[in-house]
Structure 1
Amino acid sequence: MPFLPEEEQRRLIAACFARSDLTLEQLWMRYFALGGSLSLLELDAYLNGLVPLPRVDRDMLAHAVNERLDEVTGPARAPYSHSVQDAKPLHGPLKALVDLLEGAHRAPPERLPAVVAEAGRALDLTIDVYLADYDQCRLVPLRPGAAELDIETSVGGDVYRRAGTLTRDGTLWTVLLDGVERLGVLEIVPAGDADPDDPALREQCRWLAALLGHLVTITTQYGDGLDRRRRHRRRGSPAELLWQSLPPLTGATESVVVGVSVQPAHDLCGTVFDYALSEERAQLAMFDAGVRTRGANTAVVTALAAYRAARHGGASLGEQFAAVGAELEGRPDTPAVSGVLAELDLNTGVLRLLGAGDAAPLVVRRGEALPVTGPAAPRFAAAGEAAVTELRLESGDLLALCSRGVAETTDGGGEPFGRPRITGHLGRDAGELPPEIARRLTRAVLAHGGGAFRQDAGVLVARWVPR
């Protein structure tokens, strides 16, 4: 690989430093943070052409200057000792991934569609990004002027529901994932005579979708541009508090998949969930205040925090239950909280459950609901030892934790949705992915309630598939 002459590199670095608005001390601090070991005096002498530097130090210094130029001026950069063009791919899948990474570096969320379009051009593709709204009803395009897609009826919606890939009329559709969580879909149109069914192309698009999914999640954490597109109305402050407390709606390991749906997304008030997955076990929880009052969100967040603190400290299932009870008993003015704590041994399938109040878990095996019998405490309590219900799951079994609002939502005639309908939907959709099972059940509750949620509807579904 050819190297740039040392004096030429020094001259260009010094010129770029002069445009960077950095003091010599600030430049030295950046260079030092990258691992440089030279003194401030030695750095000054090098920039003025008085002493040479080893190539690795020259490149660290160039990088320190370039980081500053990226912040203030744009593309003109200090050169490295070797030609970047010799190292950077000019076309194909690797160039697309490099373009995506470089374009997303320091980019605000709103710039992501343009970054994706540039990466697509490296693969001779036109790419449109659609993100699922928080109601999980529609796929919202990031390209201005494009139409939204209905999740239930559109091709893109079918890809989202199945978390898969398909081609239709020369267009490739693939699900957009952050790990295992569905974020939306990509609509990909190959240029010219390229075949969207080409296995190599589909694999390249899968790489692109996986990386883009991570970038969507990361950029959403420090900007509102993408998050705002997924909201169809303003989220109330209680709902904002609850959403900030929740883990992702999907989590998975080789042995278990967890999917959750909680609605109404913009007005969530008194239902939260949690899970923790490891090699050995899955720990699951749902807390429900059963009412939509000012104190409901405080009550369930308090229960959630107590549960997490106990779990993080290595407490047993019974100790977690008692920790939640102790915290809630210290707040007598908050609404009563019901809930379920579950612990699944991923090696043996042994499931241990503790319930409080009206919460009742369900197990579905080969499309049929199994009775989960065992005493439930009237409330979370710090004193006494709660009775643990224990059963053994079989491979492929579903465990469902539902908030009270799922069964208690009534139609226009006052008939509640009820547990028979819950078990019917779980059995009918048992072959789908857990997040899709949960989404469909909350959508059915919404339809039963006449298009409005009068109570929170929370559904957590876990499927155990031993390795």
Structure 2
Amino acid sequence: MHFLPEEEQRRLLAACYARSDLTPEQLWMRYFALGGSLSLLELDAYLNGLTTLPRVDRDMLAHAVNERLDEVAGPARAPYSHSFREGKPLHGPLKALVDLLEGAHRAPPERLPAVVAEAGRALDLTIGVYLADYDQRTLVPLRPGAAGELDIETTVAGDVFRRAGTTVTRNGGTPTLWTVLLDGVERLGVLEIVPTGDGDPDDPLLREQCHWLATLLGHLVTVTTQYGDGLDVRRRLRHRGSPAELLWQSLPPLTGATESVVVGASVQPAYDLCGTVFDYALSERCARLAMFDAGSRAGSANFAVVAALAAYRAARRDGAPLAEQYAAVATELGALPGLPAVTGVLAELDLHTGGLRWLAAGHPPPLIVRRGEALPQAGPASTPFAAAARPALDVEARLDPGDVVAVYSRGVTETTDPAGTPFGQERVVKHLAGDGEGLPPEVARQLTQAVLAHGGGELRHDAGVLVARWVPR
């Protein structure tokens, strides 16, 4: 590396300092804030050519002067002891990353499509963003006025979403890369990526670049949705009532995962949710699962299940064991007269041993499916959460690697078709044992869609399911 001669650096630095309008004391304070340790007298002697300084102190001094010059309209900057490469890349993957980060900084959600387009240009790509609607039936273009909506069940983009994968199409000779849009492990939608130059969608390097671009963009979608409605309104295909609005804001993401467990959830009717909520918490050692169900979708069922959920989370985050979590929920609901009865199940899965423990409150026990078959689960009779009720004894089971555990609301099994036939547990087991694209969130989505179809598109009770697959390292 070529270093600037010390005397030349000092001469130019002194000239820039003279234009900075800083007093010696102000310059020393800035140098000191950067980590410098020399005295004011030593710095003054150096600027007047009476002494020398170590290279690191010369560069800190130059940086202190440059910070000031940047503040006063940026005249020529003081030189460092060696040259630096251009700070901001002009093209390629790093520029795309910088464009995304800089473009999203303080940008309203509506501006995200333009930010994405700018990042795509740095990679010679045209990028279209599709977000899944809350029903998870349709992929909606993020940019208003773009191409039409895409059906999740019947289109290539929908297949990519279901599998959380990547594929290439060549319709009309134009190669297009489709890849899932993720925030962590949660599926948000898909990206449609078309090379504008001579890029090849089958190139592993290009695919890798698109993968991290999709990952960062997914995070930005989630973050910007939290402080504006611009993206949220694109995902809403119809009105959502106030009960559903309250419950959706209380739910965790529909997908969560660690190295040892994958969790997926789904609830229907997505736009008219009223009396069912779920929750989970993942750690290095344990996966905690919960479902609360107020049965009927009428009245104040939404307030009842939100109160139960809040009490459960507070107790769980205090480190309370299952019995105390149960008691906290029962006490909270007992102090709120007039609310409908709430049933539920609280479960803990030891991710090291596969040990599963749960407490049921008038609710079906967790369903464990192993190699396509449901394991018989029996437990003591229980009643809904109530202040005077004592929890039943907790029940234990042991999982094998790959086992699927599901907790579900009564609406899943009790929804009837026009002939009065309930959906039933056998159909639930079939979905849990089926392929479901191998993903718990997709298993959960397909199950609740099947329940909704079984009920003819109408549900008297919410259908909610929380699916966990234990995959120990």
Q: Give the TM-score category using the shorter length.
A: 0.7 to 0.9
Choose which of 283, 288, 307 in structure 2 pairs with 1:283.
288
Per-residue deviation, 1:381:
4.1
Q: Which secondary structure does the structure 2 equivalent of 1:311 belong to?
A: helix
CA shift, 1:412, in A, is 1.4
Residue equivalent to 2:141: 141
- The Cα shift of 1:58 comes to 4.4
Q: Which amino acid aligns with 1:110?
A: E
- Matched residue type, 1:104: A
| Alignment deviations for residues 10-51 of structure 1 (CA, whole Å, 9 cap, x no partner) | 89999xxxxxxxxxxxxx9xx99xx789xxxxxxxxxxxxxx
Match of 2:447 in 1: 441
Q: Deviations over 1:277-318 (max 9, x none)?
A: 111000010101011123101100111011111101110011
Residue in structure 2 matched with residue 389 of structure 1 by the alignment: 395
What is the distance in 1 between the residues matched to 2:93 and 2:184? 20
- 1:419 matched to which residue of 2? 425
Report the equivalent of 1:331: 336
- Alignment partner for residue 454 of structure 1, among 457, 460, 464? 460
What letter matches 1:313 in structure 2? D
Report the secondary structure of 2:303's partner residue. Answer: helix
Instruction: Calculate the aligned-residue CA RMSD, in Å.
Output: 2.9
Q: Does 1:204 align with 2:209?
A: yes
CA deviations over 1:206-233 (Å, ceiling 9, x no partner): 0100110111111111111011100012
Unaligned runs of 5+ in 1: 15-27, 38-52, 67-75
Matched, 1:232 2:237: yes
Report deviation, 1:191.
Answer: 2.4
How far residue 367 of structure 1 moved from its aligned partner, in angstroms, is: 1.6
Give secondary structure in 2 for the equivalent of 1:118: helix
Partner Cα separation in structure 2 for residue 151 and residue 282 of structure 1 = 30
CA contact (8 A) 1:132 1:230 kept: yes
CA radius of gyration, larger in = 2
Hey, which bits of structure 1, 4+ residues long, moved more than 3 A? 1-14, 53-63, 76-85, 381-385
Residues 292 and 59 of structure 1: CA distance in aligned 2, closer, same or farther (over 3 Å): farther
Q: How does 1:327-406 map to 2 (within 5 A)?
A: 327-382=332-387, 384-406=390-412
Task: Give the distance between the partners of 1:347 and 1:11, measured in 2 at CA.
Answer: 66
C-alpha distance in structure 2 between counterparts of 1:215 and 1:236, whole Å: 27
- The Cα offsets for residues 260-287 of structure 1, whole Å up to 9 and x where unpaired, read as 0012222111111111111100001010
- Cα offset, 1:413, TM superposition: 1.7
TM-score (norm 1): 0.85
Deviation at 1:142, TM superposition (A): 1.4
Q: Provide closer, same or farther for how the CA distance between residues 84 and 438 of structure 1 changes in structure 2, counting only shifts above 3 A.
A: farther
Distance change (3 Å), C-alpha of 1:59 and 1:420: farther
Structure-2 change in CA distance of 1:132 and 1:80 (3 Å)? farther
**CA distance in 2 between partners of 1:429 and 1:78 (Å):** 65
Counterpart of 2:90, as a letter, is L
Residues matched between the structures, number: 428
Three-state SS of the structure 2 residue aligned to 1:375 is coil
Alignment-derived partner of residue 38 in structure 2 = none
In structure 2, how many angstroms separate the alpha carbons of the residues matched to 1:429 and 1:411?
24
User: 1:258 corresponds to which residue?
Assistant: 263
Q: Is the Cα contact below 8 Å between 2:254 and 2:441 reproduced in 1?
A: yes
Q: Which residue does the alignment assign to 1:121?
A: 121
Q: For structure 2, list consecutive stretches of 5 or more residues without a partner in the other structure.
A: 36-59
Tell me, yes or no, if the aligned pair for 1:361 and 1:400 is still in contact at 8 Å: yes
Structure 1 range deviating more: 341-350 or 5-14: 5-14
Question: Residues 81 and 321 from structure 1, CA distance in 2 versus in 1: closer, same or farther, beyond 3 angstroms?
Answer: farther
1:430 Cα offset (Å): 5.6
Offset of residue 362 of structure 1:
0.8
Residues 1:164 and 2:159 aligned together:
no
Matched AA of 2:161 = Y
Distance in 2 separating the partners of 1:268 and 1:464: 28
Match of 1:319 in 2: 324
Give TM-score, length-normalised by structure 2: 0.84
Deviates more, 1:382-391 or 1:225-234: 382-391
Is 2:310 the counterpart of 1:309?
Answer: no
- Residue-by-residue CA offset, 1:174-216 (whole Å, 9 max, x unaligned): 1000000000000111123321111001001001001101111
The answer to whether the 8 Å contact 2:367/2:406 transfers is yes
